[in-house]
Structure 1
Amino acid sequence: MTDGPRLGVLASRVRYEEKQIMAALDRRGAACTLLDPRSLFVAGTWTGPDVVLNREVGHFRALYAASALESAGAVVLNSAAATHLSGDKWHTSAALAAMGLPTPRTALAAAPEAALAALEELGYPAVVKPLVGSWGRLVTRLPDRDTAEAVLEHVAALPGPQSHVIYLQELMSTADRDIRVVVIDGQALGATYRRGSQWRTNVARGATSEPCDLAPEVAKLAVAAADAVGADIAGVDLIEDTDGRLVVLEVNDRVEFRGFQSAHPGVDVADAMAGLLIRRARS
């Protein structure tokens, strides 16, 4: 592909995943340019890569960089629209609900003072989550009204209007384990159980990844969730409710896959991403 479309990887931090993706592109003979969004600007004619894989860790930088690149004619995976939906927990919930996909019961309060009434409707225990964020940061368990009042008092004191929009969700009783499914180009590559010693099962918080059977219902739900937000590449988080029914927790558009890869050494996630990037470039 030396004379073909130019490929780029957008990332301000080159982590395990970005190294693996660029190595996979190199093995396939595809030239790739690393774009650092901290020095990226789009003004007029774009002379950079034609197809860009968005791996920027920061949501807003990833979103606006994707939008700017698309406005200049580049193809971005995932698209700015997919990043907008999957990067905001409420937008994700709304997109999943619009497709009729099962999710935990969720409420949105437009101000902290409305959140207590929303919690009375939702019930305890519940969790409050920031609209934008990853790795389980600032996700707080609310076992009762007294705790909710204390947490919401702190939330009300935070600067910035977005901090005062409260995203609430029922606490799933099986929250010590969830399922991560990697979906690329409409295909589920595999699934892992993520288990942790605490109720947040993020690998970044020390949770471990174990192989999970990719049952047809798991694959089907994960692919549908990725499709609901328009993501060509996604890490879909599922959990089982008390009745054993699968529900969708989140859809991650810039999925980290180190834990998944350690559990599935025979599945090359980076190569699947590289293959998708090359196919889009050729088309």
Structure 2
Amino acid sequence: MSDRHRIASSRDTPLLTGEGRGEGFSSPRLGILVSHLREEEKLILAAAGELGVATQLIQDRTLALDLSDPAPPEVDVVLDRCVAHTRGGYALRVFEAWGVPTVNPSATVATCDDKVLMSLAFATAGVPALRTAVAFTVESALEVGERLGYPLIVKPVTGSWGRLLARANSPADLRAILEQKKALGGPQHGVFYLQEYVVKPGRDLRVFYVGGEVIAASYRNSAHWITNVARGAVSTTCPITDEIVAVTRLAARAVGAEIAGVDLVETPDGLKVIEINGGAEFKGLRGTTDVPIARVIVEHAISRAAVGR
């Protein structure tokens, strides 16, 4: 392979060799698409090493993909852990076109990274989710507000870690929030994603799903209405109930997810889905479960590998 076709230089993306890999070793090779190494990616690399799985980091910032001259990465499957959603989505689509399986698939990543598409998938599949609407002008959003009622939540179409969320307690609040979004510029700030507000019992749930199974769950506790761990929420043990399993599976299947973090909220009508994250962090879960989440992720990813490709 010529230098211009390399996925990345050895300096930037080292090949980490699993224990016991030697001449004729046939274990699947795991590529991990990353923007940077967070705690979760380090745990995944360590788990792969313990399993004897050879891994290659594929850093999104180093990619130069010649679409007219395919040069797929020398791996059997790519695990998406990229936080740069646009880069990651395009890279996964190219890898798939070049015959490399990806986990999650690019179509799933595209749906999870766009809250409008995600909510539409939930509605189409009959997933019990928070009532959501989308509008494109301030006036039409105010009409939506009258139907949803106040308070309501305004979220960016893309984004994570509880950033840029706002609670509108009245039409005046909503108008002010949306006018500010418009002033920020950019097409995404002109798409108004509005969601019903649910009074939480001081917590919500983060559920981790891998390969059709719910493997862990935690409560995320906070006095604030935003209960993301990234915003200071504290994770505690949550027993996995039949309802948690059923709702989580519905949500994951609606978007075609193989690996996901599903956020649920307790309501008088039962559990409802807030959203689903395809490349979810799990550091908050680690202290609430004995399940080796990183190891389960690696085992699932290599089960999807195109061995002998």
Distance 1:155 1:113, change over 3 A: farther
TM-score of the two chains, using structure 2 as the length reference? 0.88
Deviation at 1:47, TM superposition (A): 3.8
Count the aligned residue pairs. Answer: 281
Query: 1:226 and 2:252 equivalent?
Result: yes
Deviations 1:233-258 (A, max 9, x none): 000011011x1511111010001000
Task: Compute the displacement of 1:110 (Å).
Answer: 2.0
8, 13, 37: which one aligns with 1:14: 37
Aligned to 2:297: 273
SS of the residue corresponding to residue 207 of structure 2 reads strand
Matches within 5 A, 1:1-283: 2-43=25-66, 44-48=69-73, 49-174=75-200, 176-241=202-267, 243-264=268-289, 266-281=290-305
Structure 1: gaps spanning 5 or more residues: none
List per-residue Cα deviations over 1:159-190 (Å, max 9, x = no partner). Answer: 11121010000101116311111000000002
Q: State the distance in 2 between where 1:166 and 1:133 align.
A: 14
Give yes or no for contact 1:10–1:36 (8 Å, CA) kept in 2. Answer: yes
For 1:255 and 1:11, the matched residues in 2 are separated by 13
Q: CA RMSD in A?
A: 1.4
Distance in 1 (alpha carbons) for counterparts of 2:138 and 2:43 = 42
Helix, strand or coil: the match of 1:33?
strand
Aligned 8 A contact 1:53 1:78 in 2: yes
Q: Using the aligned pairs only, state the percent identity.
A: 42
User: SS in structure 2 opposite 1:194?
Assistant: strand
| TM-score (structure 1 length as normaliser) | 0.96
Question: Contact (CA 8 Å) 1:112, 1:155: kept in 2 or not?
Answer: no
Residues 82-113 of structure 1: per-residue CA shift (max 9 Å, x gap): 00111111111111111111111111002333
In structure 2, what is the Cα distance between the partners aligned to 1:222 and 1:197? Answer: 25
The runs of 5 or more residues in structure 2 that have no matched partner are 1-20
Q: Over alpha carbons, which structure has the higher Rg?
A: 2
Shift of 1:23: 0.8
Counterpart residue number, 2:17: none
- Counterpart-to-counterpart distance in 2, 1:109 and 1:270: 39
Tell me if the contact between 1:46 and 1:73 (Cα under 8 Å) persists in the aligned partners.
Answer: no
